[in-house]
Amino acid sequence: MSSGPAGRAHNLVVRMHHPVARVFDYLADPRNRPEWQSSLRRVELLGSQTTGVGTRWRDVTWAGVRPEMRVITHEPQQAWAEEGTWGGLTAFLLIVFVEQGDETDLEMSVRLRGSGLWRVPAAGAGLLTPAALRSDLARADRILTERAG
């Protein structure tokens, strides 16, 4: 498992109201991201692989930013991590999936690193990321609830 870019880690826990297998399968598939990640317009797969270590894609955001992403950890129902780069920025997200009966706790660590002139924007984005991630995962939880009903 990669340790991600150097820099301050932002750690948080989010509860999702669905079994761990369902949550993992949904979140680990980048094709689902535009449904629940508010910053995305679409995802462009870079290759034929859609899940697992080595899966690569480009996030196409509403702001025009297009980071290239790749899965670096894929342990079904246990852990998943991605790393992304754009310009002088590198982002790392690790999610550990913890079964809580019929629900799942997501224990997350997020790091953003900027090199050169990108240091200040990376630090600012790092402060905003946990709140945005909580909001996006609440949306994912609602989508899974609607599909279950």
Side by side, the strands of the sheet bearing 89-100 are 9-16, 103-114, 89-100, 79-86, 68-75, 56-61, 40-45
Residue 1 lies in a domain: no
The answer to whether position 101 is within a domain reads: yes
Q: What pLDDT, in 10s, does the model give residues 17-52?
A: 999 999 999 999 999 999 999 999 999 999 999 999
Residue numbers of the domain that contains 56: 9-148
Nearest to 127 by CA among 10, 17, 34, 2: 10
pLDDT digit string (tens) for 43-101?
999 999 999 999 999 999 888 889 999 999 999 999 999 999 888 788 899 999 999 99
- Residue at 112 is within a domain: yes
How does pLDDT run across 102-135, given as a tens digit for each residue?
Answer: 999 999 998 888 777 666 565 556 556 778 899 9
Measured CA to CA, the distance from residue 74 to residue 25 in angstroms comes to 11
| Own/partner pairs, 54-60, CB within 8 angstroms, 24+ separation | 55/30, 57/30, 59/33, 59/84
In a domain, 24, yes or no: yes
CATH of the domain at 20: 3.30.530.20
HSE (CB half, 13 Å, CA atoms) of 6? Answer: 2
Global confidence as pTM? 0.87
- Structural domains counted in the chain: 1
